[in-house]
Amino acid sequence: MMRDDVREVDMTVTADDGLRLAGTLTLPAGAGPHPAVLLLHGSGRLDRDGNTARLRMEVGPPLAAALAKDGIATLRYDRRGVGATPGDWRATGFTDNRRDGAAAVRALAGRPEIRADAVAVVGHSEGAVHAMSLGARPDVAAVVLLAGFAHLGEDALRRQAGMIVRELPAFVRPILRAFATRQLARIKAASTDVTRVAGVPVNARWMRELLAHDPRPDLASIRVPVLAVTGGKDVQVDAADLDEIRRLVPGEAEVHRIADLTHLLRRDPGRPSVRSYRRLLRRPVDPDLLAQVSGWLARRLAERT
């Protein structure tokens, strides 16, 4: 597909275990080779654009379009068991997602249209945590972290749950906390990839690996420029983690706390709440954020020439 000389082509990434991840490579105008970005989305059954059947984040297309205007290509792909990628989503681990991201970096750098020395990673939420891991690789030139946490996974998840529970009526909170504590203990004690919580199958291996993951050693290993942005209205990630990111990254680390930005990368002047998510998703991704990310990457990747 072509729009204003911007081309979108199908691209398949072969994962370490041979599974083929189906994706889209957006190429800017011009002959190339171009600097490029790998886009990694948040948690869940997400396709290449950041969408699930019920919640459409639609992060991929507007970010790819903004980057293309600045001469940067973008790769985004369907996760295992989602969209055109085969596999079982519920049996996929947190570490599988990270390894798939590393395979995608290698595949992107190997394309003739792409400058192998100018490949960056942009991650949102869970994707930002994987971007921290990939940032230490010699084939990654820059890292953008959108709503990424910088503490032990279990601590980040407990904070997130606490922020959500506080919106419920007071008499419900202790009941829900007790239920969540029991189910979390079941998941941590399980040895299977999938287990049932209240009769619903959940991705237990992914959860166990997330709970045990500490991104701080990865942040301390990054030797390329880092841009980290978290919203002041984010109810899933603590914006104070930006200070930890800046402290841990040994090189250039530019951090921004955007007052009205939510975890969905949309702005909301009202009281932050997950109850507003469906309303917010009717709006586009914040254009100022897109311009900030694209402009920062264009400058940093141009420095690689």
Q: For 20-77, how does the pLDDT look when each residue is reduced to its tens digit (9 = 90+)?
A: 999 999 999 998 899 999 999 999 999 999 999 888 999 999 999 999 999 999 999 9
pLDDT tier, 1 (very low <50, low <70, confident <90, very high otherwise): very low
**pLDDT (0 to 100) of residue 102:** 98
Domain boundaries, the chain: 2-150+215-302, 152-213
Q: Quick one: average pLDDT of 105-126?
A: 97
Q: Quick one: average pLDDT of 161-175?
A: 67
**pLDDT (0 to 100) of residue 81:** 96
Rg over CA atoms, the chain: 19
How far apart CA 45 and CA 92 sit, in angstroms, is 10
Q: Tens of pLDDT along 190-242?
A: 888 998 877 788 899 999 999 999 999 999 999 999 999 999 999 999 999 99
Reported as type and span, the H/E element at residue 3 is: strand 2-3
pLDDT at 169 over 70: no
**pLDDT (0 to 100) of residue 172:** 58
Question: What architecture is domain 2-150+215-302?
Answer: 3-Layer(aba) Sandwich (3.40)
**pLDDT (0 to 100) of residue 53:** 86
Task: Collapse the DSSP code of 23 into the 3-class scheme (helix H, G, I; strand E, B; otherwise coil) and give the result.
Answer: strand
Who contacts 124 (Cβ-Cβ below 8 Å, separation ≥6)? 40, 41, 42, 50, 59, 146, 147, 265
**pLDDT (0 to 100) of residue 177:** 67
* DSSP one-letter string for 132-188: HHHTTSTT--EEEEES---S-HHHHHHHHHHHHHTTS-TTTHHHHHHHHHHHHHHHH
Chain-wide mean pLDDT for the chain?
92
pLDDT at 133 over 90: yes
pLDDT tier, 266 (very low <50, low <70, confident <90, very high otherwise): very high
Least confident of 163-167, 173-177, 276-280: 173-177
pLDDT at 89 over 70: yes
**pLDDT (0 to 100) of residue 2:** 43
How far apart CA 44 and CA 100 sit, in angstroms, is 15
Structural contact between residues 26 and 6, judged by C-beta atoms closer than 8 angstroms = yes
